[in-house]
Amino acid sequence: MSSKVAIVTGASSGLGRAIALNYGRMGWKIVCADLRPDTPSTTTTTVDLINQEARGKAIFFRTDVSSSDDVQSLIDTAVNTFGRVDVLVNNAGISLESRGKLGPKPIADTDDSTFDTTWAVNTRSVFLGCKYAIRQFLSQEPWPTGDRGWIINIASVYGLKPEIEHISYSTSKAAVVHMTKCIAREYGHSKIHVNAICPGFVKTEMDRVMLEDEALGAATVALHPWGSLGAADDVAKAACFLASDQAAWITGVALPVDGGYM
């Protein structure tokens, strides 16, 4: 048990890719879950980067994170391939109300399908991931420290401070924060860590269209006392910390990684 086995959803791009790569550099075994192994903006898949350049070992598993059967199969694949599951990062998410997609809209103009799809990917997926991961944690040998597992849910600063005209996204991420705290209380006695990271504005594909607008990008930067937007690695480092011995007495936390935005 010298290295951990981690599942990272949404691992093909953005925050998930950065988290998986950082885990790979620590020599971990990683199951990269996503709808496809690559994206139009990447030339090398996350799995290939980990297997070629990092110390870890990775496989890809196609997963619809809103499907109960797919998430159960994801857990089973990790166990069948690597023998156990130690860390789950529920990262997969969408923001249909972002500019460049459907765009910001008040609730009166928001389609039911926007809300339902957002909640299926952003919130139901976290419920399913936590449910099946915890079942596996409880069935396997704990670590010598007594720890049974680590869950890191990627929420958002919008889950802590809702943004107007983002009703679907903001509420879906607020639910992730409360789900995290609820599960942490339920399974603290089993030594299962359950924490959330609440990223601020990070330079990823999700915010690309907004950042390409010079005036809007500058206004967004001005919201951050740090004076800049974040990088995916800033969030990945927090994910490494929360799954480490340095966070041994931390559970139920919603950690902003936001350059002071909150």
Task: Please identify every residue annotated as catalytic.
Answer: 169
In our burial notation (b when 16+ CB lie closer than 10 A, e otherwise), range 210-229 reads ebeeeeebeebeeebeeeeb
Q: Residue 147 and residue 190: Cα distance in Å, rounded?
A: 8
**Cβ neighbours, 10 Å, residue 245:** 8
Which amino acid is present at 89?
V
Contact (CB, 8 A) for 7 and 33: yes
Determine how β-strand 57-62 pairs with β-strand 87-90.
unpaired
Residue 248 phi/psi, 5° resolution?
A: -60, -30
Angle between helices 167-187 and 125-139 (to 10 degrees): 20
Q: Which of 154, 37, 44 is nearest to 95 (CA)?
A: 154
